[in-house]
Amino acid sequence: MIRFGIFILIITGIFSCTNSRNNQITSANKKASIRVDSTEHYRIYIPEKQNAILILFPCFPCDAHNTEQEFNIVDVATLNNIAVLMMNFNAHLWLYEKDKKSLEKQIIDALTRNKIETKNIVIGGFSSGGNVTLLLSEYLKTSSSVLQPKGIFIVDSPIDLLGLYNASVLNVQKDKFKIAQEEAQWVVKTFDLEFGIGDSSLEGYENNSPYLAKTHALKNLSHLNDVNIRLYTEPDTAWWNTNRLTDYANTNAYYIEQLAQDLKDLYGEKYVEFIQTTNRGYRANGTRHPHSWAIVDENELVKWILTL
């Protein structure tokens, strides 16, 4: 079992939870009448009327409970007739075909069991959950699945696995941050076995990574032409330098910026939004961290969902 401390890069490290009010949505200053259903795979919050379903994937060692703690989305979403499905699926930076099929079945079972329509689907994920979001959405679009997302979003995700590998090689040498060093060692060892050694194994990375900046590879995101895409990140270079001795070129934000441009070139400005935030990143316990669910403005996200 992977310890919670490992993957600080993915959860709290290099690759690595003030809401605005909007008159066009119902603000979360009261509770909606909702029903809750939980299984080993998910937790779902269901308002009396459902206009959309928001499906969320957690960070690497996290689950639905952690998502609910760190992302204050349930109240404002359900008040605006959006059901929220929080998945427990975690510990994945890439997906095998069996993972995609299993996730599709889990989601269909959850929606069928709770009588949720599938016509307005939005999928999002934080950290490694964003990788899951992208790869699963591509799978759904290329299959005959009843699950066809209208919108997807990622939150500071390590979308370039080769970039993660190269940053980890550097982090192995950093004695100051032992936890990050442990994770870096795991990444290097695991990726060497899974994909091959770094830049000499581009094909392995292109086949599994959501995106590869080095080759501008979008083969795993090439069927999202009619999907609205949001890419959230908070590029606090001062924080990363002080707390991880890391420069911008080795952060999630850097690779997400490259992905945003390549997706815009492929699909056009209309469908792709690159959202950089400032000083929003705080964990639920008050700790400052730019790698957090909290960089997403919940009210503004709900407004976006209602326009899809």
Confidence of residue 234 (pLDDT cuts 50, 70, 90): very high
Residue 109, both tokens: 């079972």
Tokens 């401390």 correspond to: 5
Residue 157, both tokens: 């995700």
Compute φ and ψ for 246, nearest 5 degrees.
-120, 135
Residue 184, both tokens: 């870096």
Q: What confidence tens digit (pLDDT) does each residue in 80-100 have?
A: 999 999 999 999 999 999 999
CA distance 221 to 227: 11
Domain ranges for the chain: 8-161+221-307
CA distance 295 to 130: 14
Yes or no: say if 187 and 165 are a contact pair by the CB < 8 Å rule: yes
Indicate the length of the chain as a whole number.
Answer: 308
Confidence of residue 33 (pLDDT cuts 50, 70, 90): confident
CA distance 141 to 268: 18
Residue 298 has, within 13 A of its CA and on its CB side, a CA count of: 26
Residue 256, both tokens: 């997400």
Fill in the amino acid letter for 112. Answer: T
CA distance 20 to 166: 38
Coil, helix or strand at residue 152: strand
What mean pLDDT is reported for the chain? Answer: 91
Percent of the chain with pLDDT over 90: 84
User: Domain 8-161+221-307 sits in which CATH superfamily?
Assistant: Alpha/Beta hydrolase fold, catalytic domain (3.40.50.1820)
* Torsion (CA) 37, 40, 41, 46 in degrees, nearest 10: 10
Q: What confidence tens digit (pLDDT) does each residue in 120-138 have?
A: 999 999 999 999 999 999 9
CA distance 298 to 300: 6
pTM over 0.85: yes
Tokens 């949001």 correspond to: 230
CA distance 82 to 304: 12
